[in-house]
Amino acid sequence: MIGLSHYLVVSGILFSIGVVGVLRRKNLLMLFFATEIMLNAANIAFAAVSSYYGDLSGQMFAFFIIAVAASEVAVGLGLLIVLYKKQGTLDLDNLAAMKG
Amino acid sequence: MEQFAFYLFSVLTIGLFLVTVLSNNVLYAMTSLAAGMVIISGFFFILGADFLGVVQLIVYVGAVMALYSFGMMFFDATREIKEKNTNAYLVFFLGGMIALLLVVMFSVLIMGEGIVAMYPTPEGANNPQAVGLVLFTKYLVPFEVAAVMLLVAMIAGIILAGKKMDDSLTTKDENHEEEMTFSLKDVR
């Protein structure tokens, strides 16, 4: 029988994959992908807790996380396009050129 | 059956997301991310959260992935990404430490006693009905705030990646100033 802990372990593994991606990547688009992975891991944990405790709040929070992720992608992708037009690359190290 | 589906989905998502994180090709990363999103909606269907699964499919696989592939048209997608990684061991150490922290945080939920549902699932209603009942009574204000936030994000996206791609509102300032001074000289 699959318990709550199984889902939480999978969610933790996925979140760690996302964290490793955020720490390891230098390309901004890849950082966005890793952020999406982390948000989805949190969604799995919320849905599992909501299902096993018979409480719908977890699913509600998962909905709001999806809304936040969608708006984050809309704004972030616009910013990425502007950055790419200005600098011609998406490398994170180029952002250090901003410092005085 | 549930066990088989759970293990299949978890192995597939972990593998696909590892491809996303470790691949050097943007196109591979994006397709594997989309496939992982589809399979995550399978988790939601197993858990009985049907409406959440459908929303996951529509929003993530439909909208977010379409946005990413739209953005991919501006970047050179076929080129391999060159990254210089300074210290790989430090990255894996930090990732491991954060994973340990997560285990501690989740074990609070597993070990926790006396957790009572604040908004229990209504009796005799299927999942979309129950979601509607809770969402439009207890969570009405956050729902409206989320709607305003999505509107703000839409306007910001339109302004940042507007229709006139050559001179966007945020990058055309320098040219604009030059034109202004030029016209002033003309007047004199």
Q: pLDDT tens string for chain A (100 positions)?
A: 788 888 888 998 898 888 888 888 888 888 899 999 999 999 999 999 888 888 888 899 999 999 999 999 989 888 888 888 877 777 777 777 665 5
Q: Chain A interface, mutation test: which of B24, B31, B43, most A Cβ atoms within 10 Å?
A: B43
Q: A24 to chain B, minimum CA–CA distance in Å? A: 6
Regarding whether B75 and B36 lie in a shared domain, the answer is: yes
B120 and B147 inside one domain: no
Same domain, B4 and B70: yes
What pLDDT, on the 0 to 100 scale, is given for residue B7?
93
pLDDT one-digit tens code per residue, A43-57: 999 999 888 888 888
Total number of domains constituting chain B? 3
- Contact yes or no for B135/B143 (Cβ under 8 A): yes
Q: How far is CA B21 from the centre of its chain?
A: 14
> Do B91 and B60 share a domain, yes or no?
no
Distance from CA of A1 to the nearest CA of B (A): 7
Q: Are residues B108 and B66 in the same domain?
A: no
Per-residue pLDDT tens for A4-15? 888 888 998 898
With respect to residue B111, please indicate whether it lies within any of the assigned structural domains: yes
d(CA B29, CA B17) in angstroms, rounded, equals 8
- Does B6 share its domain with B71? yes
B59 and B16 within one domain: yes
Residue B33, in any domain of the structure: yes
ipTM of the complex: 0.89
State the best of B3, B4, B13, B140 to mutate against chain A, taking most chain A CBs within 10 Å. B13
Same domain, B70 and B112: no
B76 and B2, same structural domain?
A: yes
For residue B25, which residues of chain A lie inside 8 Å, CB to CB? none
Domain A8-90: assigned CATH number? 1.10.287.3510
Cα B65 to the center of its chain, rounded Å: 9
Range 91-150 of B in CB contact (< 8 A) with A: 91-92, 94-96, 98-99, 102-103, 106, 109-110, 115, 117-121, 130-131, 134-135, 138-139, 142, 146, 149-150
- Is residue B21 domain-shared with residue B70, that is, in the same domain? yes
- Chain B residues near residue A8 by CB distance under 8 angstroms: 106, 109-110
Q: Which helix (H) or strand (E) holds A74?
A: helix A57-87
Predicted pLDDT at A94? 73
Domain coordinates in residue numbering, chain A: 8-90
CATH number at residue B54: 1.20.120.1200
Judgement on whether residues B5 and B77 belong to the same structural domain of the protein: yes
**Domain range holding B19?**
1-83
B184 touches chain A (CB under 8 A): no
Indicate if B20 and B55 belong to the same structural domain.
yes
CB contact under 8 A, B18 and A17: yes
Output the pLDDT for position B27.
85
pLDDT < 70: residue spans in chain B: 76-86, 109-110, 112-115, 162-188
The angle, 0 to 180 degrees and rounded to 10, between the axes of the packed helices A28-52 and A4-24 is 170
